[in-house]
Structure 1
Amino acid sequence: MTQPGPATLWTPPDSAFSDSALARFALANGFDPRRYDELHGWSVSRRDEFWDALWDFTGVLGDKGDVVEQPPRTEGADLDQLPSLRHGRMFGTRYFPHGRLNVAENLLRGEPGRLAVLAADETGIHTRLTVAQLRGRVAAVQAGLRAAGVGEGDVVAGILPNTVENLTTMIATLSLGAAWAGCSPDFGVAGLVDRIGQVAPSVVVAAQSYAYNGRDFDVRAKAEEVVARLGTAPDLVLVGSPRWDEQFTDETSALTLERFPFDAPGLIMFTSGTTGLPKAIVHSAGGVLLQHLKEHVLHGDVRPGDVHSWFTSTAWMMYAWVVSVLAAEAAVVLIDGNPSPRLPDGTVDCGHLWRMADDAGLTHFGTSPRYLSGLMDAGYAPREHHDLGALRSVLSAGAPVSAEQYDWLYAEVKRDMVFASICGGTEIHGCFQLGSPLHPVRRGEITCVALGHAVSVLDDRGAPVVGEKGELVCTEPFPSMPLTFLGDGGLRRYHDTYFAERPDVWTHGDLAELTPRRSVVVHGRSDTTLKPNGVRIGTAEIYRVVDQRPEIAESLVFGHTARTDEEVVLCLVMAEGHELTPGFTKELKADIRAQASPRHVPAHVFAVSEVPYTLNGKKVEGAARTAAGGGTVKNEASLANPGSLHEFRALFA
């Protein structure tokens, strides 16, 4: 007997099956929009037809060439070093090998008077740019970069907040056929050197300062020290300096848009680096553009004239992801500063982003589970304070979204909208599973597997399973796979990270579950999976219970080896006015036992003052586990609060 699924929180209207872009794409290629599985099957079995059709449907500006997918070449390859090439299926496949495009040309498309960019800080939206104005600013920066010697194949690094200057510098870099490596200005010197030092930039563009929570923080001295420590002597350009004003702001400059190979390096993204030196992942310009257009236009139903936001640092992959809506002829909101700034009386302004949403006429609101938890804990209901009439979708990334957060979104934000928990990563610069205008939204589940991705969940035997936890894999190639990792042995390191465990099968590193409804539940990262008594469980299952408790402000779960077994450790930051007492601990363990299982019950529960986070706001379970075990956390510079590890080092000392 089939077990009932979780509650359905939203159901697509009949009009979605004819009017949405995903429906129109399905119909144009001979598929019934109500039979998504058939469309998905075609997208992974006839990949050349799918990606070719997607190029045409989304109106990519460029030349496709006459080949869509080119199998890996083994000539001259060391097959002992790169065994996946023996299989000739996935690792090393190229897309549109004769294609040429310019990403900037696609991002700057559309009617000159169309709204393209809204820039905001802690005071609200302060700048609005049309396509014509954005093109003028990009042309000015392009002229400055060209004068600094930047050309095809070079790298430009940024140390900039989420401002118009970061956007125009990134687009101008791509317009010249160069690659962009963005870093956040709140990184420390060591963290910046670890990243920028790998990419050998010809130019580093940095802010002189950035603002957060009403305070200004100096960047100039930091940037100068970073450049001095690189050893390659890149040219340092400071935004707002006399040089910037003279060479990078002339909007009468002519914008040139030469087309470059589809798989030319375009974006260099850095992993979090909490287990060692951050990996510098090189992505192709065309592969990322096509991936993002698929996700925005088909899965997100982003339409011309829509307005999309995502609170993100310039270092997170979500920055480049959200600004790609420009290629869908939508506008992007650039959000700088604190998403919930402190008010003069010391309280948190929970309505900041929602007022901005009303002011912008926002259609798509991007966020994170951590931000949602903050609103829930504060008892803030956006629907009671804001109109949100234009809002059609809320999206979340960065960590699994709890079932209770699904409930809260539909009760306290808006009932008639699509909520999309999206999940993928820096490695693919996109999503393996995400939302859809044609699927119901079910409590606690990611809606569907993305078109173009042959995603499976494998058990310990390597067999595909449904309704069971296992390893998330992708078995067929796709255009946004990385080109390589930078540095010595980059291709080998890339291969060993994703293909060593299963030759020519991408092993993503997520513990996940594919449901009978073809939706997905992600239970956490495989490298933080808990194994008490040898049984594999996910940290997300514990967080779903713990995060419901108003007495708890933050939590972190990891495994600690004791003799021959692994014990579950739960660390709690208690909410103001609450203490971790034996009675509360007993009650919490009973909740975990009842709502998860006896194996999920922690052996140890500790109170700590803070938990470690990356600068992008992700909990770092691995760093806490290493510190608690007495090991050395290899790259504390990647943490926003490295001092938090002192408490974890003392837990079992």
Structure 2
Amino acid sequence: MTDVLWRPDPARLREAALTRFAAAAGRAGATYDELWRWSVDDLEGFWALAAEFLGIRWHAEPSAVLGSRAMPGAQWFPDGRLSFAEHVLTGRDPDAVAVRFRSEAAGDGAWTWADLRRETARVRRGLVAHGVGAGDRVAAYLPNVPQVLAAFLATASLGAVWSAAAPEFGMDAVVSRFAQISPTVLLAVDGYRYKGRAVDRTQEGEEIARRTGARPVRFGLLDGTGWEAGFGEGPGELEFAALPFDHPLWVLYSSGTTGPPKAIVHGHGGVLLELLKTAVLQLDLRAEDRFAWYTTTGWVMWNIQLAPLLAGASVVLFDGQPGGDALWDLAADTGVTVFGASAAWLDAQRRDGARPCEGRDLSALRAIGSTGSPLPAECFDWVYTEFPADTWLVSISGGTDVVTPFLGLAPTVPVYRGELGPPALGVDLQAWSPDGRPLTGEVGEMVVASPMPSMPLGLWGDADGERLRAGYFERFPGVWAHGDWLELTAHGTGIITGRSDATINRGGVRIGTGEIYQALAAVPEVVDAVAVDVPRPGTHGAIVLFVVLDGLPLDEALTARIRAAIRRGCSPRHVPDDVLAVADLPRTSSGKKLEVPVKRLLMGADPDSVVNRGSLANPGAIDAVLAAARTLTLSP
């Protein structure tokens, strides 16, 4: 029987925005599942009410809610005009704090809403002086500091298109992103600090500008000069261009681990509506909330942290080394109410024996969030051991592709051990069999069967839409297939068991790699693992398991225990043929394991063709994997 670890507080539930929304929909007292079913059965009715309830400000009223339901190519709120930046900056108490921050380079500080608005106007004036207008691209090579929020809002206010990369990315990885969109300007930091050491990025910024054809604008973080060198001093006027619902807002990028990263284009209105829904209805954020999610500017969670600002809540930014107790200290010092990080970071805290509440006041914290990869069940146990029982653990799954959660956030639904929350409102999320039948209680392909407002407008440079269709709509024509294995439970939650393109199939029995990792929880010496299914001549293939160990050698006895744990937890068919120890495993900057690229490497592919090292959190781990794999005999 699945353990219930948390139930919503009845008092907060009565006051929740979701409760008021249900009443406005004429569905007072409905269960979350009933509300969700209405939201996907009547997309037009749901999103029309959501736009009204969430306070969308129209400069021109739309002629319909959904002009076309085609996927790809759904047409949302045709003829409607609005401004994303206006929704963030309008109607705020100018003296209330909007942003708190801690930076190794800039120290601690806070900005009021008046500060954020003033800095946005200043950057906007500078962008206009550099010739930036609607449709032009503004590329940012900047760390997670408040000036970046202002730069994005200034860009959005003009109708220009934002695109960002973290300065810790390698230069080639940044160029492979920005060169696709031909930016007008590049906002480039002079450097940043990490573990107390200054990391100069002046030459990298100049070279990125040269290779992308952008005009460089310097942001002096290390020397404290800010925008003065690029934009000069003095205030600016803040205006908001009234833009079509589907006007491009930003370009985000796939992880870039296999070939050039996809340049994903999202629209002003779709992102605005989805982020407001997430913040207000799904997360129940209020003006008094303080939201912190550990991220860099190169991960989609930087973009999603705009959701609290849209809801009038404040955000807490961190720029520096997140190890040890640094983030818990930040949460305590700033009174964070909602804290989030990658599942990999949270699980590392568990494995390191972290005691977040010991010696610090985290009483304001009401929710802990996790995303980037499935959160192990043992991490659920750790959270509810270390934090009060009324802490809401929010394990979500979404993606750069849609800038919003597919599932995981529902303030009215209990938390079950090892499971994500239910599908988000308006997201027609299903698990399908190979022949397209919806499944419950069984693992299937994770699909979205109806359009979402924040689905990509397209991929930059993909004029005929071929790459977009190939990426998401080939598996089931006209239906979004995300590439994950999903089980929807009888009680309405979800379990993601791994990438469907990393599935291991033996004798017709398919399992996701997540099930292997879950079984390995019984072997405490295994700190991390990646399992891949690699072809071998004349056989059905070999399961190769790479493991990172807790300071112990991989001897025969430990190998036997690893295999036995997988035999018990999965099946005899899925016991690995080879177990190899490595010092580290390659991950993206958001903590995702590189299962498919590792598989391709083991099949003999050129590393430079399948792995963009500059986009990885630990580029040297690729060499560790290749060195260990040289002992294997694999197909070319």
Single out whichever of 611-620 and 442-451 deviates more from structure 2.
611-620
Whole-angstrom distance in 2 between the partners of 1:549 and 1:125: 41
Separation in structure 1 between the aligned mates of residue 567 and residue 409 of structure 2, nearest angstrom: 31
- Say whether residues 1:98 and 2:79 are aligned partners: yes
Task: Give CA deviations for 1:508-543 in whole Å, capped at 9, x if unaligned.
Answer: 111111111111000111111112334221111111
Partner residue, 2:612: 636
1:540-563 Cα offsets, whole Å, 9 max, x none, are 111123245432232222111123
Deviations along 1:612-641, one digit per CA (max 9) or x if unpaired, are 112232211122111122112324333233
- Given that 1:627 and 1:645 are in contact with CA atoms closer than 8 Å, whether structure 2 keeps it comes out as no
2:595 — aligned with what? 621
Who is 1:117 aligned against? 99
1:235 and 2:215 aligned = yes
**Whole-angstrom distance in 1 between the partners of 2:257 and 2:150:** 30
Measure the CA separation in 2 of the matches of 1:487 and 1:546.
Answer: 43
Pairwise CA RMSD: 1.9
TM-superposed deviation, 1:611: 0.8
TM-score, normalisation: structure 1? 0.92
Q: Which residue of 1 aligns with 2:148?
A: 166
The 3 A distance-change label for structure 1 pair 299 and 573 is same
DSSP 3-state at the match of 1:562: coil
Displacement of 1:247: 5.6
Partner of 2:535, secondary structure, is: strand
Structure 2 counterpart of 1:570: 545
Tell me whether 63-72 or 11-20 shows the greater mean CA deviation: 63-72
CA deviations 1:352-379 (Å, max 9, x no partner) are: 1111111111110011211112211221
Answering whether residue 303 of structure 2 is matched by residue 327 of structure 1, we say: no
5+ residue gaps, structure 1, are: 73-87, 341-349
Deviates more, 1:629-638 or 1:140-149: 629-638
Determine whether 1:443 maps to 2:417: yes
- Is residue 2:264 matched to residue 1:289? no
> Residue deviations 1:200-243, cap 9 Å, x none?
1000001000111221112110111122222xx21101102879
Distance 1:649 1:529, change over 3 A: same
Counterpart in the other structure of 1:82:
none
State the 1:122 CA deviation.
4.5
Q: Distance in 1 between matches of 2:308 and 2:584?
A: 36
Residues 431 and 440 of structure 2 are in contact (CA less than 8 Å); yes or no, is this contact kept in structure 1?
Answer: yes
**What aligned pairs does 1:17-96 form with structure 2 within 5 A after superposition?**
17-63=13-59, 65-72=61-68, 89-96=70-77
Deviates further, 100-109 or 330-339 = 100-109
Rate the CA distance shift 1:64–1:507 in 2: closer, same or farther, 3 A: farther
Residue 566 of structure 1 aligns with an amino acid whose one-letter code is G
Task: State the shift of 1:168 in Å.
Answer: 1.2
1:75 aligns with none
Please tell me whether the aligned partners of residues 105 and 193 of structure 2 are also in contact (alpha carbons under 8 angstroms): no
1:139 is matched with 121
1:648 Cα shift? 2.8
Judged with a 3 Å threshold, the aligned counterparts in structure 2 of structure 1 residues 527 and 138 are, in CA distance, closer, same or farther, namely: same
Does the CA contact (< 8 Å) of 2:250 and 2:267 recur in 1? yes
Which residue of structure 2 lines up, in the alignment, with residue 192 of structure 1?
Answer: 174
**Counterparts of 1:136 and 1:71, CA distance in 2:** 38
1:491 matched to 2:465: yes
1:332-481 matched pairs, under 5 angstroms = 332-340=315-323, 350-481=324-455
Give distance in 2, aligned partners of 1:243 and 1:301: 35
Task: Note the C-alpha offset of 1:182.
Answer: 0.6
How far apart in 1 are the matches of 2:232 and 2:408?
A: 39
Q: Which residue of 2 aligns with 1:152?
A: 134
Q: Which residue of 278, 282, 300 maps to 1:299? A: 282
Conserved in 2, the CA contact under 8 Å of 1:112 and 1:132?
yes
CA contact (8 A) 1:125 1:356 kept: no
Distance in 1, Cα, partners of 2:333 & 2:67: 49
SS of residue matched to 2:249: strand
User: Identity rate of aligned residues, in percent?
Assistant: 39
d(CA) in 1 for partners of 2:107 and 2:366?
Answer: 20
Within 5 Å, give how 1:7-22 maps onto structure 2: 7-22=3-18
| C-alpha displacement of 1:566 | 2.9
Do the aligned partners of 2:440 and 2:489 also contact (CA within 8 Å) in 1?
yes
Provide the rounded CA distance (Å) in 2 between the counterparts of 1:308 and 1:135. 19
**TM-score where L is the length of structure 2:** 0.94
Work out the CA distance in 2 between the residues paired with 1:455 and 1:491.
23
Q: Counterpart of 2:10 in 1: which secondary structure?
A: coil
CA contact under 8 A between 1:69 and 1:93: conserved in structure 2? no
- How many Å apart are 1:34 and its aligned residue? 4.5
- The match for 1:539 among 509, 513, 530 is 513
**Residues 1:609 and 2:583 are matched in the alignment:** yes
Aligned pair 1:645/2:622, yes or no? yes
Judged with a 3 Å threshold, the aligned counterparts in structure 2 of structure 1 residues 129 and 596 are, in CA distance, closer, same or farther, namely same
Q: Which of 239, 245, 249 is 1:256 aligned to?
A: 239
Q: Deviations over 1:148-202 (max 9, x none)?
A: 0111111100001101221111111111101100111111121011000001100
**What code does the residue aligned with 2:612 have?**
E
Correspondent of 2:296 among 313, 318, 326: 313
- Equivalent residues of 1:63, 1:99 under 8 A apart: yes
In the alignment of these two chains, the number of paired residues is 622
Q: Name the counterpart of 1:347.
A: none
Q: Distance in 2 between matches of 1:174 and 1:93?
A: 23
1:115/1:128 contact within 8 Å kept: yes
Instruction: Give the Cα separation in 2 of the matches to 1:283 and 1:20.
Output: 29
What CA deviation, in whole Å up to 9, does each residue of 1:53-111 have, x standing for no partner? 11222222334624343344xxxxxxxxxxxxxxx633211111121111111111311
Distance 1:511 1:173, change over 3 A: same
Partner of 1:205: 187
